[in-house]
Amino acid sequence: MALEGDSAGPPTTGSTGIVYDVRMKFHAPLDPKDRHPEDPRRIWKIYEALVDAGCFNRCVRIAVKEAATEDVLLIHDPSHHATLTQTQFLSAPQLDRLAQQFDSVYLCPESAYCARLSCGGLIQLCQAVVTGHIRNGFAIIRPPGHHAEINEPMGFCLYNNVAIATRWVQEHYGIKKVLIVDWDVHHGNGIQEAFIKDPNVLYFSLHRYENAEFYPSSPIAACHVVGDGPGAGRTVNVAWPCPQMGDADYLHAFNTLLMPMAREFAPDLVIVACGFDAAKGDDIGECLVTPQGYAHMTALLKTLAGGRLVLSLEGGYNLEATAQSALACVQVLLGILPNPPPKGPGPSLPLLSSLKPSPACLNTIQAVQEAHGPYWKCFR
């Protein structure tokens, strides 16, 4: 199945797919009193918001199948897979000791199973989109994935769901070019690592950086990091220097950086590493993006790749803010226009675009344009 950017024909249906499986709640801290930020209730709250708004039943339910070993190994080292697989046989003290070997990870006997469900659910959703069974979709999945590196879990993430699904559709369906947009407030180091040399994957991340002081606290998240070798120019880091970044900042980055680059790249599929920890009210992210802001970003992305768009849950730790942000995105996927509605040939954002981006935003965008000038016609 060969596709070529926006020139490809539209999917055979205009429907929106949804992945939700209650079994993913079984990945949980060993101590039930431990209210970890990556709370099993996150997916339930999104489901509840979609049901209450009448959106869930308007979506096509995509059945979840566990990711197979060969799927996981498209990205991860066999030792990584073996480490997680063994967790089902370990005692609580053994699980604690193993988790302490990694950066910000908890493990329980059901963790590997839930990670396979999470990854497999996203694969099934992407398959449904690229085959035309549905037009777009949202994966309400956990554990998240964008921090998981080739050799180890990290940052609440076990398997790198988005990276695996990206490689899976490339290998199984002839999808050549994939745009990954990562709007989680943290840099997706694992996704970047997986595709740093790949000219056919454009990874675009908006994240707090603050001179590598903000998690995952690595200089690879800086604006000047653009990819290696044949992948030069295909890694884009919009590295915010401070908290409190809001709708105007994110939409200005979309309009001046992402959308021009995306149109030039002409992806066959767009996948969003869809964390909501930049949402207003999230105490970890400390940013100010509203549900309306997420809705408008989703509306812009719908104009790419013939509408083939998949959103995959990553972070987001304020349960209500995460649920309302996810609802806003799903409404746009279903064709419910954000307020104010887009006008003209592409989404124009009269209300939000009237807000002025911050000086921090403007300086960051200038740094990205300077770093990527040699690689993109749109910046020359």
How far apart are alpha carbons 39 and 32 in whole angstroms?
A: 11
Nearest alpha carbon to residue 148 among 131, 165, 129: 165
How far apart are alpha carbons 22 and 4 in whole angstroms?
A: 36
How far apart are alpha carbons 372 and 351 in whole angstroms?
A: 30
Contact 329, 298 (CB under 8 A): yes
Annotated catalytic residue 81? no
Contact 327, 290 (CB under 8 A): no
How far apart are alpha carbons 172 and 356 in whole angstroms?
A: 44
Q: Within the chain, where are the H helices?
A: 41-52, 69-72, 78-85, 92-99, 111-130, 161-173, 189-195, 247-253, 259-265, 291-301, 319-333, 359-372
CB neighbour list of residue 196: distance below 8 Å, 6 or more residues apart: 227, 228, 231, 235
Catalytic residue among 80, 146, 147, 296, which?
147
Report which residue type is found at 240: W
Report which residue type is found at 207: H
Contact 142, 38 (CB under 8 A): yes
CB neighbour list of residue 329: distance below 8 Å, 6 or more residues apart: 138, 274, 294, 295, 298, 311
Residue spans of beta strands (DSSP E) within 193-294: 201-208, 235-240, 269-274
How far apart are alpha carbons 11 and 198 in whole angstroms?
A: 27
Contact 310, 136 (CB under 8 A): yes
Report which residue type is found at 122: L
How far apart are alpha carbons 108 and 86 in whole angstroms?
A: 11
Q: Which residues are catalytic?
A: 147
